[in-house]
Chains A and B, each alone.
Chain A
Protein backbone atom coordinates (compact mmCIF):
# COMPACT_ATOMS: atom_id res chain seq x y z
CA UNK A 1 0.00 0.00 0.00
CA UNK A 2 1.25 3.42 -0.92
CA UNK A 3 0.34 7.01 -0.25
CA UNK A 4 -0.31 8.96 -3.42
CA UNK A 5 1.28 12.01 -4.98
CA UNK A 6 -0.10 15.52 -5.35
CA UNK A 7 -0.98 15.07 -9.02
CA UNK A 8 -3.07 11.97 -8.25
CA UNK A 9 -4.75 13.77 -5.36
CA UNK A 10 -5.73 16.54 -7.74
CA UNK A 11 -7.25 13.97 -10.13
CA UNK A 12 -9.12 12.37 -7.26
CA UNK A 13 -10.54 15.69 -6.10
CA UNK A 14 -11.50 16.41 -9.67
CA UNK A 15 -13.55 13.19 -9.77
CA UNK A 16 -15.36 14.19 -6.56
CA UNK A 17 -16.12 17.57 -8.11
CA UNK A 18 -17.47 16.00 -11.30
CA UNK A 19 -19.65 13.73 -9.18
CA UNK A 20 -21.25 16.45 -7.10
CA UNK A 21 -21.61 18.76 -10.11
CA UNK A 22 -23.52 16.01 -11.92
CA UNK A 23 -25.92 15.54 -9.00
CA UNK A 24 -26.34 19.27 -8.40
CA UNK A 25 -27.33 19.56 -12.07
CA UNK A 26 -29.51 16.43 -11.70
CA UNK A 27 -27.71 15.14 -14.77
CA UNK A 28 -28.02 11.38 -14.34
CA UNK A 29 -25.97 10.51 -17.44
CA UNK A 30 -23.09 12.57 -16.04
CA UNK A 31 -23.58 10.80 -12.70
CA UNK A 32 -23.29 7.44 -14.46
CA UNK A 33 -20.18 8.62 -16.28
CA UNK A 34 -18.41 8.99 -12.91
CA UNK A 35 -18.45 5.18 -12.58
CA UNK A 36 -16.09 2.74 -14.22
CA UNK A 37 -17.24 0.64 -17.20
CA UNK A 38 -16.48 -2.47 -15.18
CA UNK A 39 -19.52 -4.76 -14.91
CA UNK A 40 -18.99 -4.76 -11.13
CA UNK A 41 -19.10 -0.99 -10.79
CA UNK A 42 -21.42 -0.31 -7.86
CA UNK A 43 -23.19 2.33 -5.84
CA UNK A 44 -24.74 1.87 -2.41
CA UNK A 45 -26.61 4.43 -0.37
CA UNK A 46 -27.10 3.08 3.13
CA UNK A 47 -28.09 4.36 6.58
CA UNK A 48 -25.32 4.47 9.19
CA UNK A 49 -27.88 2.83 11.50
CA UNK A 50 -27.77 -0.31 9.35
CA UNK A 51 -23.99 -0.26 8.81
CA UNK A 52 -23.40 -0.03 12.56
CA UNK A 53 -25.59 -3.08 13.14
CA UNK A 54 -24.04 -5.07 10.30
CA UNK A 55 -27.28 -4.93 8.28
CA UNK A 56 -27.10 -4.69 4.51
CA UNK A 57 -30.46 -3.16 3.68
CA UNK A 58 -29.83 0.04 1.78
CA UNK A 59 -31.78 2.96 0.43
CA UNK A 60 -30.25 2.23 -2.96
CA UNK A 61 -28.51 -1.04 -3.72
CA UNK A 62 -26.91 -0.94 -7.14
CA UNK A 63 -24.39 -3.74 -7.01
CA UNK A 64 -23.51 -3.84 -10.71
CA UNK A 65 -23.09 -1.50 -13.64
CA UNK A 66 -26.42 -2.70 -15.12
CA UNK A 67 -28.31 -1.49 -12.06
CA UNK A 68 -26.51 1.87 -12.14
CA UNK A 69 -27.75 2.25 -15.70
CA UNK A 70 -31.26 1.19 -14.65
CA UNK A 71 -31.32 3.82 -11.91
CA UNK A 72 -30.69 6.45 -14.58
CA UNK A 73 -33.56 4.96 -16.63
CA UNK A 74 -35.93 5.08 -13.65
CA UNK A 75 -35.17 8.66 -12.74
CA UNK A 76 -35.10 10.06 -16.24
CA UNK A 77 -37.73 7.89 -17.98
CA UNK A 78 -40.01 5.86 -15.71
CA UNK A 79 -40.57 8.55 -13.08
CA UNK A 80 -40.97 11.44 -15.48
CA UNK A 81 -43.61 13.82 -14.18
CA UNK A 82 -44.20 11.88 -10.97
CA UNK A 83 -41.90 13.78 -8.65
CA UNK A 84 -41.17 17.45 -8.30
CA UNK A 85 -37.45 17.90 -9.05
CA UNK A 86 -35.71 19.33 -6.01
CA UNK A 87 -32.61 21.52 -6.01
CA UNK A 88 -29.50 20.17 -4.31
CA UNK A 89 -26.05 21.48 -3.42
CA UNK A 90 -23.49 18.88 -2.45
CA UNK A 91 -20.47 19.69 -0.30
CA UNK A 92 -17.67 17.18 -0.09
CA UNK A 93 -14.50 17.15 1.97
CA UNK A 94 -11.85 14.48 1.62
CA UNK A 95 -10.69 13.23 5.01
CA UNK A 96 -7.77 10.98 5.92
CA UNK A 97 -5.14 9.89 3.43
CA UNK A 98 -6.16 8.05 0.30
CA UNK A 99 -4.58 4.62 0.02
CA UNK A 100 -3.38 3.03 -3.22
CA UNK A 101 -3.55 -0.77 -3.30
CA UNK A 102 -3.33 -2.96 -6.42
CA UNK A 103 -4.42 -0.17 -8.74
CA UNK A 104 -7.37 0.86 -6.57
CA UNK A 105 -7.50 4.07 -4.60
CA UNK A 106 -9.50 4.02 -1.39
CA UNK A 107 -10.69 7.37 -0.15
CA UNK A 108 -13.14 8.58 2.48
CA UNK A 109 -14.90 11.95 2.35
CA UNK A 110 -17.54 13.70 4.41
CA UNK A 111 -20.55 14.94 2.51
CA UNK A 112 -23.50 17.16 3.17
CA UNK A 113 -26.37 17.90 0.83
CA UNK A 114 -28.48 21.02 1.15
CA UNK A 115 -31.83 21.08 -0.58
CA UNK A 116 -34.18 23.85 -1.55
CA UNK A 117 -37.72 23.07 -2.66
CA UNK A 118 -39.43 25.26 -5.24
CA UNK A 119 -40.65 28.29 -3.32
CA UNK A 120 -39.27 27.02 0.00
CA UNK A 121 -36.34 27.64 2.30
CA UNK A 122 -33.12 25.63 2.30
CA UNK A 123 -32.40 22.78 4.66
CA UNK A 124 -30.14 19.77 5.01
CA UNK A 125 -31.18 16.71 3.05
CA UNK A 126 -28.51 14.39 4.41
CA UNK A 127 -25.01 14.25 5.84
CA UNK A 128 -22.62 11.35 5.93
CA UNK A 129 -19.51 9.83 4.44
CA UNK A 130 -18.54 8.59 1.04
CA UNK A 131 -16.40 5.47 1.08
CA UNK A 132 -14.97 5.22 -2.41
CA UNK A 133 -12.86 2.83 -4.39
CA UNK A 134 -11.44 4.57 -7.46
CA UNK A 135 -9.73 3.16 -10.55
CA UNK A 136 -8.26 4.42 -13.80
CA UNK A 137 -10.88 3.90 -16.48
CA UNK A 138 -10.74 5.27 -20.04
CA UNK A 139 -7.89 7.59 -19.09
CA UNK A 140 -9.68 9.12 -16.13
CA UNK A 141 -10.29 8.28 -12.50
CA UNK A 142 -13.73 6.78 -11.96
CA UNK A 143 -15.55 5.02 -9.14
CA UNK A 144 -15.41 1.24 -9.11
CA UNK A 145 -17.45 1.31 -5.92
CA UNK A 146 -19.04 4.17 -4.11
CA UNK A 147 -20.84 3.82 -0.80
CA UNK A 148 -22.70 6.79 0.67
CA UNK A 149 -23.29 6.09 4.37
CA UNK A 150 -25.78 8.65 5.64
CA UNK A 151 -25.99 9.69 9.30
CA UNK A 152 -29.41 11.30 8.86
CA UNK A 153 -31.49 8.92 10.96
CA UNK A 154 -34.79 10.14 9.57
CA UNK A 155 -34.62 11.35 6.01
CA UNK A 156 -36.54 14.61 5.72
CA UNK A 157 -38.43 13.55 2.58
CA UNK A 158 -38.65 10.89 -0.09
CA UNK A 159 -35.50 10.53 -2.13
CA UNK A 160 -35.13 10.46 -5.89
CA UNK A 161 -31.48 11.23 -6.59
CA UNK A 162 -28.49 9.32 -5.25
CA UNK A 163 -26.43 11.02 -2.51
Chain B
Protein backbone atom coordinates (compact mmCIF):
# COMPACT_ATOMS: atom_id res chain seq x y z
CA UNK B 1 0.00 0.00 0.00
CA UNK B 2 1.37 3.38 -1.03
CA UNK B 3 0.67 5.08 2.30
CA UNK B 4 2.84 2.58 4.06
CA UNK B 5 5.58 2.99 1.45
CA UNK B 6 5.74 6.74 1.96
CA UNK B 7 5.77 6.32 5.74
CA UNK B 8 8.27 3.48 5.70
CA UNK B 9 10.78 5.34 3.54
CA UNK B 10 10.54 8.55 5.59
CA UNK B 11 12.67 9.54 8.56
CA UNK B 12 12.62 12.85 10.44
CA UNK B 13 15.55 14.23 8.44
CA UNK B 14 14.22 13.05 5.04
CA UNK B 15 10.48 13.09 4.43
CA UNK B 16 8.88 11.43 1.41
CA UNK B 17 6.95 14.07 -0.56
CA UNK B 18 3.95 11.77 -0.92
CA UNK B 19 3.10 12.48 2.70
CA UNK B 20 1.94 15.93 1.58
CA UNK B 21 -0.19 14.66 -1.27
CA UNK B 22 -1.80 11.29 -0.69
CA UNK B 23 -5.45 11.15 0.42
CA UNK B 24 -4.71 7.81 2.17
CA UNK B 25 -2.14 9.50 4.36
CA UNK B 26 -4.56 12.30 5.17
CA UNK B 27 -7.29 9.81 6.19
CA UNK B 28 -4.80 7.88 8.31
CA UNK B 29 -3.68 11.09 10.04
CA UNK B 30 -7.27 11.89 10.98
CA UNK B 31 -7.55 8.50 12.68
CA UNK B 32 -4.14 8.19 14.26
CA UNK B 33 -3.41 11.81 15.11
CA UNK B 34 -6.41 14.13 15.25
CA UNK B 35 -8.76 11.46 16.62
CA UNK B 36 -5.83 9.73 18.30
CA UNK B 37 -4.13 9.97 21.71
CA UNK B 38 -3.19 13.67 21.55
CA UNK B 39 -4.74 16.96 22.67
CA UNK B 40 -5.93 19.43 20.03
CA UNK B 41 -6.40 23.11 20.82
CA UNK B 42 -9.93 24.30 20.03
CA UNK B 43 -10.74 27.51 21.90
CA UNK B 44 -9.88 30.07 24.51
CA UNK B 45 -11.98 29.85 27.64
CA UNK B 46 -12.63 33.59 27.25
CA UNK B 47 -14.66 32.76 24.13
CA UNK B 48 -17.15 30.82 26.27
CA UNK B 49 -18.66 33.37 28.60
CA UNK B 50 -21.64 32.41 30.69
CA UNK B 51 -23.91 29.35 30.98
CA UNK B 52 -24.92 27.90 27.62
CA UNK B 53 -22.00 29.50 25.75
CA UNK B 54 -20.70 27.43 22.85
CA UNK B 55 -18.18 27.51 20.05
CA UNK B 56 -18.21 25.18 17.09
CA UNK B 57 -14.94 24.39 15.39
CA UNK B 58 -12.94 21.44 14.10
CA UNK B 59 -10.39 18.93 15.25
CA UNK B 60 -8.67 17.89 12.07
CA UNK B 61 -11.62 17.65 9.72
CA UNK B 62 -14.16 16.55 12.36
CA UNK B 63 -16.74 19.17 13.43
CA UNK B 64 -16.80 19.61 17.21
CA UNK B 65 -18.52 21.88 19.71
CA UNK B 66 -17.21 23.14 23.05
CA UNK B 67 -19.87 24.20 25.54
CA UNK B 68 -20.28 25.61 29.01
CA UNK B 69 -23.16 24.11 30.96
CA UNK B 70 -25.52 25.84 33.40
CA UNK B 71 -23.12 25.10 36.27
CA UNK B 72 -20.15 26.55 34.40
CA UNK B 73 -18.42 23.26 33.54
CA UNK B 74 -16.88 22.82 30.08
CA UNK B 75 -17.86 19.98 27.76
CA UNK B 76 -17.22 18.96 24.17
CA UNK B 77 -18.82 16.67 21.65
CA UNK B 78 -18.69 15.81 17.98
CA UNK B 79 -21.12 18.08 16.12
CA UNK B 80 -23.03 15.20 14.56
CA UNK B 81 -26.60 14.26 15.45
CA UNK B 82 -26.90 10.64 16.62
CA UNK B 83 -29.88 10.23 14.31
CA UNK B 84 -28.81 11.11 10.78
CA UNK B 85 -25.45 12.72 11.30
CA UNK B 86 -26.59 16.30 10.68
CA UNK B 87 -24.69 19.18 12.25
CA UNK B 88 -26.50 19.93 15.50
CA UNK B 89 -24.91 23.30 16.09
CA UNK B 90 -24.86 25.55 13.03
CA UNK B 91 -23.66 28.85 14.50
CA UNK B 92 -19.92 29.38 14.92
CA UNK B 93 -20.49 30.61 18.47
CA UNK B 94 -23.17 31.93 20.75
CA UNK B 95 -25.27 31.23 23.85
CA UNK B 96 -27.87 28.50 24.11
CA UNK B 97 -29.72 30.33 26.84
CA UNK B 98 -31.97 27.38 27.74
CA UNK B 99 -28.92 25.10 27.67
CA UNK B 100 -30.24 22.88 24.89
CA UNK B 101 -28.89 22.09 21.44
CA UNK B 102 -31.57 20.98 19.00
CA UNK B 103 -30.93 19.39 15.62
CA UNK B 104 -33.07 21.27 13.12
CA UNK B 105 -33.74 18.20 10.96
CA UNK B 106 -35.94 16.12 13.35
CA UNK B 107 -35.68 18.22 16.50
CA UNK B 108 -33.61 15.76 18.53
CA UNK B 109 -32.61 17.77 21.57
CA UNK B 110 -29.34 17.49 23.49
CA UNK B 111 -28.00 19.21 26.59
CA UNK B 112 -24.67 21.03 26.86
CA UNK B 113 -22.97 17.79 27.93
CA UNK B 114 -24.12 16.04 24.76
CA UNK B 115 -26.81 13.85 26.37
CA UNK B 116 -29.92 13.20 24.30
CA UNK B 117 -32.88 14.76 26.16
CA UNK B 118 -35.78 14.32 23.82
CA UNK B 119 -36.93 12.81 20.52
CA UNK B 120 -40.20 14.01 18.90
CA UNK B 121 -42.91 11.33 18.47
CA UNK B 122 -40.80 8.90 20.45
CA UNK B 123 -44.00 7.01 21.40
CA UNK B 124 -45.59 7.56 17.97
CA UNK B 125 -49.10 8.94 17.75
CA UNK B 126 -52.25 7.02 18.70
CA UNK B 127 -50.37 3.73 18.66
CA UNK B 128 -48.79 4.34 15.26
CA UNK B 129 -45.04 4.60 14.61
CA UNK B 130 -42.52 5.83 17.13
CA UNK B 131 -39.37 4.23 18.44
CA UNK B 132 -39.19 0.71 19.85
CA UNK B 133 -40.20 0.31 23.52
CA UNK B 134 -36.60 -0.29 24.52
CA UNK B 135 -35.29 2.86 22.83
CA UNK B 136 -32.94 4.37 25.38
CA UNK B 137 -32.08 8.07 25.21
CA UNK B 138 -28.86 7.35 27.08
CA UNK B 139 -27.65 5.15 24.22
CA UNK B 140 -28.10 7.89 21.61
CA UNK B 141 -26.19 10.85 22.91
CA UNK B 142 -23.60 12.82 21.00
CA UNK B 143 -20.05 11.49 20.86
CA UNK B 144 -18.47 13.06 23.95
CA UNK B 145 -14.87 14.22 23.95
CA UNK B 146 -12.39 14.88 26.71
CA UNK B 147 -11.75 18.54 27.54
CA UNK B 148 -8.67 19.91 29.27
CA UNK B 149 -8.09 23.51 30.28
CA UNK B 150 -4.62 24.93 30.77
CA UNK B 151 -4.80 28.54 31.98
CA UNK B 152 -7.71 29.25 29.66
CA UNK B 153 -6.43 27.40 26.59
CA UNK B 154 -8.92 24.61 25.85
CA UNK B 155 -7.87 21.31 24.31
CA UNK B 156 -9.89 18.25 23.24
CA UNK B 157 -9.05 14.62 22.92
CA UNK B 158 -10.96 11.78 21.26
CA UNK B 159 -8.88 9.10 22.93
CA UNK B 160 -8.80 7.85 26.51
CA UNK B 161 -5.17 6.87 25.92
CA UNK B 162 -4.04 10.49 25.63
CA UNK B 163 -1.84 11.26 28.65
CA UNK B 164 -2.91 14.15 30.91
CA UNK B 165 -2.60 17.42 28.98
CA UNK B 166 0.29 18.84 31.01
CA UNK B 167 2.21 15.62 30.63
CA UNK B 168 1.53 15.61 26.89
CA UNK B 169 2.81 19.17 26.55
CA UNK B 170 5.78 18.78 28.88
CA UNK B 171 7.18 21.19 31.42
CA UNK B 172 8.78 23.72 29.09
CA UNK B 173 5.65 24.14 26.95
CA UNK B 174 3.44 24.52 30.04
CA UNK B 175 5.83 27.17 31.34
CA UNK B 176 5.43 29.35 28.23
CA UNK B 177 1.64 28.86 28.14
CA UNK B 178 1.41 29.95 31.78
CA UNK B 179 3.63 32.90 30.97
CA UNK B 180 1.30 34.21 28.25
CA UNK B 181 -1.90 33.32 30.11
CA UNK B 182 -0.69 34.77 33.40
CA UNK B 183 -3.94 36.71 33.90
CA UNK B 184 -7.42 36.91 32.35
CA UNK B 185 -7.48 37.70 28.67
CA UNK B 186 -9.93 39.41 26.34
CA UNK B 187 -10.47 38.37 22.72
CA UNK B 188 -9.84 41.27 20.32
CA UNK B 189 -10.83 39.69 17.03
CA UNK B 190 -10.35 37.06 14.36
CA UNK B 191 -8.84 36.47 10.95
CA UNK B 192 -9.15 33.35 8.82
CA UNK B 193 -7.20 32.31 5.77
CA UNK B 194 -6.86 29.29 3.56
CA UNK B 195 -3.54 27.93 2.45
CA UNK B 196 -3.45 25.66 -0.55
CA UNK B 197 -1.06 23.28 1.09
CA UNK B 198 -0.88 20.32 3.44
CA UNK B 199 -1.20 21.05 7.16
CA UNK B 200 2.22 19.55 7.87
CA UNK B 201 3.92 22.16 5.70
CA UNK B 202 2.56 24.83 8.01
CA UNK B 203 3.47 22.76 11.09
CA UNK B 204 7.03 22.55 9.79
CA UNK B 205 7.08 26.24 8.94
CA UNK B 206 6.17 27.32 12.48
CA UNK B 207 8.93 25.06 13.86
CA UNK B 208 11.51 26.22 11.35
CA UNK B 209 13.77 28.87 12.87
CA UNK B 210 16.07 28.71 9.85
CA UNK B 211 13.65 30.63 7.59
CA UNK B 212 12.84 33.41 10.05
CA UNK B 213 15.37 36.03 9.02
CA UNK B 214 15.56 34.79 5.44
CA UNK B 215 11.94 34.61 4.26
CA UNK B 216 10.56 37.33 6.51
CA UNK B 217 12.44 40.34 5.24
CA UNK B 218 10.83 42.44 7.93
CA UNK B 219 13.24 41.05 10.53
CA UNK B 220 16.55 41.94 8.87
CA UNK B 221 15.10 45.17 7.51
CA UNK B 222 14.00 46.48 10.87
CA UNK B 223 16.44 44.69 13.12
CA UNK B 224 13.74 42.97 15.15
CA UNK B 225 15.65 39.76 14.97
CA UNK B 226 19.15 38.80 13.91
CA UNK B 227 21.04 35.54 14.20
CA UNK B 228 23.43 36.81 16.89
CA UNK B 229 20.57 37.92 19.14
CA UNK B 230 19.82 36.08 22.37
CA UNK B 231 17.39 33.37 21.39
CA UNK B 232 16.58 29.75 22.06
CA UNK B 233 14.54 26.89 20.70
CA UNK B 234 13.12 24.24 23.01
CA UNK B 235 11.20 21.06 22.33
CA UNK B 236 9.42 18.60 24.60
CA UNK B 237 10.99 15.21 25.32
CA UNK B 238 9.62 13.62 22.14
CA UNK B 239 9.80 16.62 19.85
CA UNK B 240 6.07 17.14 19.19
CA UNK B 241 6.04 20.73 20.40
CA UNK B 242 8.41 23.63 19.97
CA UNK B 243 8.96 27.02 21.57
CA UNK B 244 11.15 29.70 20.04
CA UNK B 245 12.03 32.70 22.15
CA UNK B 246 13.90 35.82 21.14
CA UNK B 247 14.86 38.40 23.72
CA UNK B 248 14.72 42.12 23.21
CA UNK B 249 18.06 43.88 22.94
CA UNK B 250 19.68 45.09 26.15
CA UNK B 251 19.72 48.79 27.05
CA UNK B 252 23.18 49.26 25.58
CA UNK B 253 22.42 47.36 22.42
CA UNK B 254 19.05 48.69 21.29
CA UNK B 255 17.04 47.97 18.19
CA UNK B 256 18.76 50.99 16.61
CA UNK B 257 22.07 49.15 16.62
CA UNK B 258 20.40 46.12 15.14
CA UNK B 259 18.92 48.23 12.43
CA UNK B 260 22.29 49.77 11.64
CA UNK B 261 23.68 46.27 11.37
CA UNK B 262 20.73 45.06 9.33
CA UNK B 263 22.15 42.60 6.89
CA UNK B 264 19.96 43.66 4.05
CA UNK B 265 20.64 46.42 1.57
CA UNK B 266 17.44 48.10 0.46
CA UNK B 267 17.24 49.46 -3.04
CA UNK B 268 17.17 53.25 -2.88
CA UNK B 269 16.50 53.36 0.83
CA UNK B 270 18.44 52.58 3.93
CA UNK B 271 17.10 49.74 6.02
CA UNK B 272 15.64 50.34 9.42
CA UNK B 273 13.05 52.41 11.15
CA UNK B 274 13.91 55.53 9.12
CA UNK B 275 12.17 53.81 6.20
CA UNK B 276 8.92 54.21 8.06
CA UNK B 277 6.81 57.32 8.60
CA UNK B 278 5.20 55.69 11.61
CA UNK B 279 7.79 53.47 13.34
CA UNK B 280 5.35 52.89 16.23
CA UNK B 281 4.44 49.62 14.50
CA UNK B 282 7.84 48.39 15.72
CA UNK B 283 7.34 49.52 19.31
CA UNK B 284 7.54 46.86 21.98
CA UNK B 285 6.08 47.67 25.37
CA UNK B 286 7.61 45.17 27.79
CA UNK B 287 4.83 43.50 29.76
CA UNK B 288 6.39 40.31 31.10
CA UNK B 289 8.95 39.71 33.83
CA UNK B 290 11.46 38.49 31.26
CA UNK B 291 12.97 40.10 28.18
CA UNK B 292 11.25 37.87 25.67
CA UNK B 293 9.95 39.99 22.80
CA UNK B 294 9.04 37.11 20.54
CA UNK B 295 7.60 33.72 21.38
CA UNK B 296 6.44 31.24 18.76
CA UNK B 297 5.11 28.11 20.38
CA UNK B 298 3.93 25.26 18.17
CA UNK B 299 1.79 22.72 20.00
CA UNK B 300 1.19 19.43 18.22
CA UNK B 301 -0.99 18.95 16.28
CA UNK B 302 -3.13 21.99 15.84
CA UNK B 303 -1.99 25.35 17.19
CA UNK B 304 0.65 28.02 17.29
CA UNK B 305 0.65 30.39 20.26
CA UNK B 306 2.45 33.61 19.51
CA UNK B 307 3.69 36.73 21.20
CA UNK B 308 5.30 38.94 18.57
CA UNK B 309 6.10 42.19 20.35
CA UNK B 310 2.70 42.99 21.87
CA UNK B 311 0.57 40.97 19.50
CA UNK B 312 -0.85 37.92 21.22
CA UNK B 313 -2.67 35.28 19.20
CA UNK B 314 -3.46 31.65 18.72
CA UNK B 315 -3.30 30.25 15.20
CA UNK B 316 -5.49 27.18 15.00
CA UNK B 317 -4.74 24.75 12.18
CA UNK B 318 -7.84 23.19 10.58
CA UNK B 319 -7.19 20.46 8.04
CA UNK B 320 -9.65 20.99 5.20
CA UNK B 321 -8.15 18.39 2.89
CA UNK B 322 -4.84 16.90 1.93
CA UNK B 323 -3.87 20.10 0.09
CA UNK B 324 -5.99 22.66 1.89
CA UNK B 325 -5.41 24.07 5.36
CA UNK B 326 -7.31 26.79 7.16
CA UNK B 327 -5.59 28.98 9.68
CA UNK B 328 -7.77 30.70 12.27
CA UNK B 329 -6.13 33.63 14.06
CA UNK B 330 -7.63 34.58 17.42
CA UNK B 331 -6.08 37.80 18.72
CA UNK B 332 -6.25 38.74 22.36
CA UNK B 333 -5.07 41.15 24.99
CA UNK B 334 -5.45 41.16 28.75
CA UNK B 335 -8.71 41.96 30.51
CA UNK B 336 -6.88 44.62 32.53
CA UNK B 337 -5.22 46.33 29.54
CA UNK B 338 -5.82 50.05 29.65
CA UNK B 339 -7.16 51.91 26.63
CA UNK B 340 -3.67 52.83 25.42
CA UNK B 341 -2.44 49.23 25.55
CA UNK B 342 -5.52 47.94 23.73
CA UNK B 343 -4.99 50.59 21.06
CA UNK B 344 -1.33 49.59 20.77
CA UNK B 345 -2.20 45.91 20.32
CA UNK B 346 -4.83 46.72 17.70
CA UNK B 347 -2.37 48.96 15.82
CA UNK B 348 0.36 46.29 16.00
CA UNK B 349 -1.98 43.99 14.10
CA UNK B 350 -0.36 45.10 10.85
CA UNK B 351 2.56 42.84 11.82
CA UNK B 352 0.66 39.55 11.88
CA UNK B 353 -2.24 37.76 10.25
CA UNK B 354 -3.10 36.82 6.66
CA UNK B 355 -1.71 40.19 5.47
CA UNK B 356 0.81 40.66 8.30
CA UNK B 357 4.13 42.33 7.62
CA UNK B 358 5.89 39.35 9.23
CA UNK B 359 3.50 36.49 8.52
CA UNK B 360 2.12 36.89 5.01
CA UNK B 361 5.07 35.03 3.52
CA UNK B 362 4.42 31.80 5.47
CA UNK B 363 1.34 31.20 3.31
CA UNK B 364 3.49 31.60 0.22
CA UNK B 365 6.14 29.15 1.54
CA UNK B 366 3.47 26.51 2.28
CA UNK B 367 1.95 26.84 -1.19
CA UNK B 368 5.31 26.76 -2.96
CA UNK B 369 6.27 23.51 -1.19
CA UNK B 370 2.89 21.95 -1.99
CA UNK B 371 3.27 22.89 -5.66
CA UNK B 372 6.91 21.90 -5.91
CA UNK B 373 6.47 18.45 -4.38
CA UNK B 374 3.66 17.43 -6.74
CA UNK B 375 4.58 14.29 -8.65
CA UNK B 376 7.75 13.87 -6.61
CA UNK B 377 7.65 10.07 -6.41
CA UNK B 378 10.74 8.88 -4.66
CA UNK B 379 11.85 12.37 -3.65
CA UNK B 380 12.52 13.22 -0.04
CA UNK B 381 13.24 16.50 1.71
CA UNK B 382 16.62 17.23 3.30
CA UNK B 383 16.22 18.38 6.90
CA UNK B 384 19.76 18.22 8.25
CA UNK B 385 20.47 21.81 9.18
CA UNK B 386 22.21 21.69 12.56
CA UNK B 387 22.35 17.90 12.73
CA UNK B 388 20.24 14.84 12.12
CA UNK B 389 18.78 14.21 15.56
CA UNK B 390 16.55 16.06 18.02
CA UNK B 391 17.98 17.80 21.07
CA UNK B 392 15.95 19.41 23.89
CA UNK B 393 17.35 22.89 23.40
CA UNK B 394 19.26 24.92 20.83
CA UNK B 395 20.63 28.44 21.15
CA UNK B 396 20.64 30.63 19.23
CA UNK B 397 17.90 29.78 16.74
CA UNK B 398 18.10 30.29 13.02
CA UNK B 399 20.90 27.86 12.28
CA UNK B 400 19.15 24.52 12.67
CA UNK B 401 16.03 22.48 11.92
CA UNK B 402 15.89 20.72 15.26
CA UNK B 403 12.20 21.34 15.97
CA UNK B 404 11.19 20.28 12.45
CA UNK B 405 12.88 16.93 13.02
CA UNK B 406 11.13 16.86 16.40
CA UNK B 407 7.74 17.27 14.72
CA UNK B 408 8.43 14.39 12.37
CA UNK B 409 9.70 12.21 15.21
CA UNK B 410 6.38 12.58 17.00
CA UNK B 411 4.40 12.30 13.78
CA UNK B 412 6.04 9.05 12.68
CA UNK B 413 5.70 7.52 16.12
CA UNK B 414 1.94 8.09 16.01
CA UNK B 415 1.54 7.19 12.35
CA UNK B 416 3.63 4.05 12.60
CA UNK B 417 1.68 2.94 15.66
CA UNK B 418 4.29 3.36 18.36
CA UNK B 419 1.92 4.98 20.86
CA UNK B 420 4.33 4.26 23.70
CA UNK B 421 6.25 7.29 22.47
CA UNK B 422 3.74 9.47 24.30
CA UNK B 423 5.24 11.08 27.39
Contact = CB atoms under 8 A, between A and B. Distances in A.
Q: Do A and B bind each other?
A: yes
Interface of A: 45, 47, 49-50, 53, 55-67, 69-71, 73-74, 77-80, 82-84, 153-160
A83 B361 CA distance: 7
B281 A84 contact: no
Interface string B347-369: 10110011101001111100100
Nearest to B269: A77
A67 B217 CA distance: 18
B278 A64 contact: yes
Q: Is the interface of B mostly helix, strand, loop or mixed?
A: mixed
B187 interface: yes
Contact of A157 (B191, B196, B281): B196
B347 A63 contact: yes
A158 B354 contact: yes
Nearest to B355: A159
A154 B353 contact: no
A139 to B, nearest CB: 24
Interface of B: 187-196, 215, 217-218, 221, 266-269, 275-278, 281, 326, 331, 346-347, 349-350, 353-355, 357, 360-364, 367
Contact of B349 (A58, A65, A153, A154): A58
Nearest to B275: A73
Given A70-B278, A154-B194, A155-B193, A78 B217 contact: yes
Nearest to B349: A61
Given A55-B188, A60-B350, A154-B326, A70 B193 contact: no
A66 B277 contact: yes
A56 B360 contact: no
B192 A153 contact: yes
B190 A50 contact: yes
A31 B276 CA distance: 18
A50 B189 contact: yes
Contacts of A77: 266-269, 275
Contacts of B196: 157
Nearest to A62: B350
A59 B191 contact: yes
Nearest to A82: B361
Contacts of A158: 193, 195, 354-355, 360-364
Nearest to A72: B277
Contacts of B221: 78
A78 B350 contact: no
A78 B192 contact: no
Considering residues A66, A74, A160, which has the most beta carbons from chain B within 10 angstroms of its beta carbon? A74
Q: What are the 8 tightest A-B residue pairs by CB atom distance, in nearest-first order?
A: A57-B189, A158-B363, A66-B277, A66-B278, A55-B189, A159-B355, A154-B192, A50-B189
